[in-house]
């Protein structure tokens, strides 16, 4: 099997697409349920700290239970209605029971995850690097969607991936361990410094602390070398996204906007093609 995947790149790409569709389906569950699980946990902690009576224990609610159901009619989704991408097409984007429209976000997430995994498989080939970056990328996609919905980058996702990046690079898969360690340090400190400079000047919080940790995570995976390009591209993406949101939502400049997706997209591009982008720029300006 490994020989086939080594010799036939398209076979590995096809396998990556299938894997991406399956993981994308799971990410839909993660993005919907994890914030609710965290809210329950925070409410329980708040009651304990404030000395309030504990809230009545509700039914089991985690990533596995209860079974997925329609958010409108609560009808359980049957296995053949839960096939990634295909079921959405067969059901024509509607619940088979109440005919409520199914959000296009679900197939979008599955398709995006499949395309991301396919790009990684084609870029790295059948290798440990490909497997590691697929895991990172799926995590970044899930965190980005949660940040879009709740302006939250959960520590329960960010911190394990940060440590995993250091472990991966202890074997030198994507960067040397010293570069990864300094990448984590510089990643955190760079946005931490921007945060406090902005706060001292304006008296307002310019970004969430989760953004510091996310950039540290990216530095831990790609090394400190990817940080300048990541910050540049993330800033440009942020400006572009901010202008679109202002036009779409008719909001002002001070309206909050999640920066995590911009960092995730920029970091992912820098990790895969940062060297080529930097070389192209240096050649364009005559430095190489």
Sorted by where each begins, the domain ranges of the chain are 1-126, 127-288
The predicted pLDDT at position 208 comes to 84
Structure tokens at 258: 């999640």
Distances 30 to 25, 90, 144, 237, 288 between C-alpha atoms, Å: 9, 24, 12, 25, 45
Q: In angstroms, how far is CA 241 from the centroid of its own chain?
A: 17
Q: Are 109 and 150 in contact (CB under 8 A)?
A: no
CA angle centred on 108, ends 106 and 110, rounded to 5°: 75
Question: pTM for the whole thing?
Answer: 0.93
Considering only the C-alpha atoms of the chain, give the largest distance between any 2 of them, rounded to a whole number of Å: 69
Q: Which residues of 111-129 are buried (b: 16+ CB within 10 A; e: fewer)?
A: bbbbebbbbbbeebebbee
The string of pLDDT tens digits covering residues 97-127 is: 888 888 999 999 999 999 999 999 999 999 9
pLDDT in tens, 173-221: 999 999 999 999 999 999 999 999 988 988 888 788 899 999 999 999 9
129 vs 76, which has greater pLDDT?
129
First to last CA, the chain: 43
Instruction: Identify the CA nearest to 219 among candidates 180, 249, 166.
Output: 180
């Amino acid at each position: 099997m490994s020989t086939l995947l080594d010799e036939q790149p398209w076979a590995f790409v096809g396998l990556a697409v299938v894997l991406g569709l399956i993981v994308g389906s799971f990410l839909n569950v993660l993005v919907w349920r994890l914030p609710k699980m965290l809210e329950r946990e925070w409410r329980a902690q708040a009651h304990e700290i404030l000395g309030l009576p504990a809230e009545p224990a509700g039914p089991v609610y985690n990533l596995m239970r209860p079974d997925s159901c329609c958010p409108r009619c609560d009808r359980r989704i049957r296995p053949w209605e839960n096939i990634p991408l295909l079921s959405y097409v067969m059901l024509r984007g509607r619940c088979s029971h109440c005919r409520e429209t199914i959000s296009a976000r679900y197939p979008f997430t599955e398709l995006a995850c499949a395309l991301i995994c396919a790009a990684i498989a084609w870029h790295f080939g059948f290798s440990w690097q490909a497997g590691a970056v697929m895991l990172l990328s799926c995590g970044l996609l899930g965190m980005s969607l949660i940040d879009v919905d709740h302006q939250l980058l959960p520590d329960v996702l960010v911190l394990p991936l940060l440590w995993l990046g250091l472990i991966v690079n202890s074997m030198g898969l994507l960067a040397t361990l010293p570069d990864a360690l300094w990448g984590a340090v510089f990643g955190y400190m760079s946005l931490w410094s921007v945060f406090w400079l902005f706060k001292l000047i304006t008296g307002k919080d310019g970004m969430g602390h989760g953004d510091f940790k996310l950039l540290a995570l990216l530095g831990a995976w790609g090394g400190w070398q990817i940080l300048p390009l990541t910050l540049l591209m993330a800033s440009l993406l942020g400006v572009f996204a901010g202008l679109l949101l202002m036009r779409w939502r008719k909001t002002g400049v001070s309206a909050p906007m999640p920066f995590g997706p911009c960092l995730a997209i920029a970091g992912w591009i820098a990790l895969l093609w940062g060297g080529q982008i930097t070389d192209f720029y240096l050649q364009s300006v005559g430095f190489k």
